Amino acid sequence: MEKAALEAGARMLLPQATAAYEVKRPKSAAFALADNGFFDRVPMYWMLDWPTPFPMVVAEATGARLTDVDGNTVIDLCLGDTGAMFGHGPEPVLRALGRSALQGLTTMLPSPDVGVVGRLLAERFGLSRWQVAATASDSNRFAIRAARAVTDRRKILVFDGCYHGAVDETLVDLVDGRTQARGSLLGQAAELGESTVAVPFNDEAALEAALAHGDIACVLAEPAMTNCGMILPAPGFHKALRALSRQHGTLLVIDETHTISTGLGGYSAAYGLEPDILVVGKPIGGGIPVSVWGMSEEVALRFDDARRARNASGHSGIGTTLSGSALQLACLRACLEEVMTVEAYRAMHRSADIVEAGLRSAIEDCDLPWHVSRIGARLEIVFSATPPSNAEQSREASSEVIEHALHLLLLERGFLLTPFHNMVLVCPALQEADAIRFTRAYREVLGELVHASR
Ligand code: PMP
């Protein structure tokens, strides 16, 4: 079936799906209308970017479930867009929160957890020198700054379609072969094309040509792109990326914030990527604001040299007051020791296997030219028959209206997907029976879409 026909079908389904959402949620609607002092009436304005007419106001989130203020309970397959990848409120993290509340949340001094957490990070991710920040955006920003200090180069390279958080230099698009600030970016002062080079993912020739100038401090990359649909690396691409970056004196910074869904040490450990710097944010502390960035021994030594050369104490542009707090260390420890375990990943992968098989067969039975991509516990339904190899192909495949209709119809059946894409994230608390129910609901919804599109 053609995309245009499916889009027309989706458009027809939207009003009814929207009305069904509204009818069930009068209290959330009231919150949405009240003048509560917030800009846009929400504490962070992306909260309006869901396909729903107003946001669901969440009364409680535990494990794999959310209950809104109207008493509707849904299975959460968004998980705060990965912040709650190990489920809402994992017990060990809740205990750590309780303990640190009594011991002091933030002192700008290390707590005794420092030894264990540093060792666990080094063991798990294979890099030896770590720092803690509050968000993945912060860690990426600090990693870039460290890479520039170490290499004494100004430029960075990212892949077209990337998202690494609120990090100025990464918010670019490749338009007609030129790198420019993303159209949606607000309040941008610097000319981003001067400091950032964007190249298509999986394009070794473009990567080599850009690195050959010898002026790029670091490549900042997700191992598989997860913020522009899902784009998997072509066979051999990572090997080439590592070899070329080494050859041209460019550091390789791998952002595992989403791909930590792969397994214990993320995609890097599973596929032997050997980054110089590695970043993980979002779920690493079980949902509290914490992220980590780690350097190889060699990069750490060079960073130290750069710091000494500048006599840089004080305002280095790296670190924030609440970073490395006792609260963060306690939650990191709980998460690394007791939440992000082999058993947890095993449970996630088991449910993800069920979801993957169910989605594939529903797509096949409905004869849709779509496919399912997967990185461990993270799945993406992509509206193309063949996997996209770069952002241009991924943008071509995507369809906002189909996405919206699917989201709303699934929500009506009690399943919450991630906005801005077709991502299904599976946490350890997701029961296999719920995974099966989800695939049945998906099959039903696809049937409705196909019917409406005829
Ligand atoms: N890196 C990646 C790969 C991300 O997907 C995101 C957010 N979606 C970030 C970094 C930024 O995370 P945060 O908004 O928590 O800073």
Residue 179 Cβ contacting ligand 1 at under 6 Å: no
Residue 199's φ and ψ, nearest 5 degrees, are: -130, 160
| Rounded mean pLDDT, 20-45 | 95
On the 0-12 / 13-18 / 19+ scale of CB atoms within 10 A, 34 is exposed
What mean pLDDT is reported for the chain? Answer: 97
H or E element, residue 21:
helix 3-23
| Rounded mean pLDDT, 20-47 | 95
Q: pLDDT digit string (tens) for 346-381?
A: 999 999 999 999 999 999 999 999 999 999 999 999
Residue 255 Cβ contacting ligand 1 at under 6 Å: yes
Task: Say which DSSP state 57 is in.
Answer: P
User: Are 184 and 173 a contacting pair, CB within 8 Å?
Assistant: no
How far is the centre of ligand 1, averaged over its atoms, from the C-alpha of 25 (Å)?
Answer: 30
Give the architecture-level CATH label for domain 3-86+342-453: Alpha-Beta Complex (3.90)
Kindly list the domain boundaries of the chain, sorted by start residue: 3-86+342-453, 91-339
Q: What is the pTM of this model?
A: 0.98
- Sign of CA pseudo-dihedral 72, 77, 79, 84: positive
pLDDT at 1: 85
User: Ligand 1: which of 132, 144, 163 to mutate, most ligand atoms within 8 Å of CB?
Assistant: 163
Residue the block writes with tokens 């989706």: 10
pLDDT at 312: 62
Residue 423's φ and ψ, nearest 5 degrees, are: -95, 135
- Does the domain formed by 91-339 have CATH 3.90.190.20? no
User: Are 441 and 357 a contacting pair, CB within 8 Å?
Assistant: no
Interface confidence (ipTM) of the complex: 0.99
Residue the block writes with tokens 């190889």: 296
Residue 155 Cβ contacting ligand 1 at under 6 Å: no
Residue 252 Cβ contacting ligand 1 at under 6 Å: no
Q: pLDDT digit string (tens) for 368-419?
A: 999 999 999 999 999 999 999 999 999 999 999 999 999 999 999 999 999 9
Q: pLDDT digit string (tens) for 179-230?
A: 999 999 999 999 999 999 999 999 999 999 999 999 999 999 999 999 999 9
Residue 139 Cβ contacting ligand 1 at under 6 Å: no
pLDDT at 119: 98
More confident residue, 311 or 435: 435
Local structure of 294: helix, strand or coil: strand
Q: Which residues pair with 173 in a beta bridge?
A: 180
Residue identifier of the C-alpha nearest atom 12 of ligand 1: 136
Model confidence at 72, pLDDT cuts 50, 70, 90, reads very high
User: Are 254 and 278 a contacting pair, CB within 8 Å?
Assistant: yes
Cα–Cα dist 273/253, whole Å = 10
Pairing of strands 216-221, 155-159: parallel
CA dihedral 49, 50, 52, 53 (to 10 degrees): -10
106 phi-psi bin (left φ>0, alpha ψ -120 to 50, beta other): beta
Cα–Cα dist 170/176, whole Å = 18
Q: pLDDT digit string (tens) for 224-251?
A: 999 999 999 999 999 999 999 999 999 9
Q: pLDDT digit string (tens) for 273-330?
A: 999 999 999 999 999 999 999 999 999 999 999 999 987 677 899 999 999 999 999 9
And the tokens for 88? 């809402």
User: Are 289 and 265 a contacting pair, CB within 8 Å?
Assistant: no
H or E element, residue 215:
none
